[in-house]
Amino acid sequence: MLCDFASAGAYGTYYRSWLPVRNAPPAPIYLQYPEPNAVLPVEEIPFAWSQGEPGTHYELRVATDAAFKDVVFGATNLATAAFAWTSPPPTGLPYHWQVVARHGAQQTATVNGPLAFRLDPSLPPSGSGVVLRALLAGTPDPQEGRLLASVDLSPATGRGGVANTALAFNGKSSKLVYDAPQFPSRTYTFAAWFCPQGLTVDGRRWHQIVSAWCAPVNDPLRVSIQDLELVVAIEQPGGGCRLSGGRVENGRWTHVAVVKRLTELSLYVNGQRVAQAPVPASFVPGPKNLGIGCNPNFSGPEVFQGTLAEVVFSREALAEEAVRALAAQRPSPP
């Protein structure tokens, strides 16, 4: 008898969790990035697809036609589900890409391929420029970037003691979401001022300062407070990391910054580096928006409780001196 795992053995019967299979075809593989009809800057293109079972190897092909009669690039015997391609000059025409997975004598093409993308020379490189700059001085409107959603926020007193120089989040229903085009996966800097209010030890609930969660096991930028501890918790399919910034105090303003410099992730508190961890050189693509004080794509209660101000998210990895300068800046005027 076969049944779903949740009810197996529920009535006292014997069961086996796994059934042996011989000569099975490779597990289904899905293309992930570039996404369908993506428009990308002219730079090295990171391809990514879902991982097959151990021992699977992959063949990547790129063509100028959907029938793959004009293949302009190919890579074979790839052991990992990712590859970076130095793209040719843009032609204005779409490129098409596909992956074939091989395991032993079995092979299969991806379920959702081929996919198409274009190169646009007018787009800035993904490793430079500002994604978001928002003072949050009594309003969610950004100085740079695009506002997508603003719910249950109120003007608040900022770190300089001046009214209308921050935004208050209620810990329950507040939501602030910005567009995050060409989400940086290799280098970035996030920085903000935060002041928790009324937080307690509450069973490790997430009180997000920032989150880019977009799918299970894919959050390349999460800064949060859990049980009065400042944490960075990165989720990635190949394994994430967790950094601790120490205990926070209700009513106290603190500057936090997270810098990803290829394989190095650093956490700064008030301009001082307090934790560091190795990470993949490139995070898995996927995020399209950024939640400030919330999880942008999850309806559960992951809301910050307190006030936030002076948020910046850049595609560049700032040097330590620049991070210290951010933390040392005087409060912004209303």
What SS3 string covers 135-168? Answer: CCCCCCCCCECCEEEEECEEEECCCCCCCCCEEE
Instruction: Give me 201's structure tokens.
Output: 């030890």
Q: Residue 328 in 3-state DSSP? A: helix
Residue 20 pLDDT: 67
Cα 255 from Cα 161, distance rounded (Å): 16
Q: What is the pLDDT of residue 39?
A: 86
Please give the distance of CA 44 from its chain centroid, rounded to a whole number.
Answer: 19
pTM higher than 0.85, yes or no? no
- Decide which of 1.10.287.990, 2.40.10.10, 3.10.350.10, 2.60.120.200 is the CATH code for 130-328: 2.60.120.200
Q: What is the pLDDT of residue 116?
A: 96
What pLDDT score does 6 carry?
52
- Give me the pLDDT at residue 9, please: 47
Instruction: Give the whole-angstrom CA distance, residue 307 versus residue 327.
Output: 17
Tokens representing residue 275 in the block: 């934790």
What one-character DSSP code corresponds to residue 250?
T
Measured between alpha carbons, how far is 58 from 62 in angstroms, rounded to an integer? Answer: 13
Give mean pLDDT in consecutive 10-residue pieces for the chain, a chain of 334 residues: 50 56 75 86 86 91 95 94 84 92 88 94 83 97 98 97 97 97 91 98 96 95 98 92 97 98 94 95 88 94 97 96 95 66
What is the predicted pLDDT for the residue at 11? 46
Half-sphere exposure of 195 (CA within 13 A, CB side): 17
- CA distances to 136, 164, 178 from 332, rounded to whole Å, are 10, 11, 21
Of the CA atoms within 13 Å of residue 212, those in its CB half-sphere come to 27
Name which of 97, 50, 107 is nearest 77 in CA terms.
107
**Alpha carbons within 13 A on the beta-carbon side of 140:** 20
- The CATH H-level superfamily of 31-119 is Immunoglobulins (2.60.40.10)
Q: Where are the chain's structural domains?
A: 31-119, 130-328
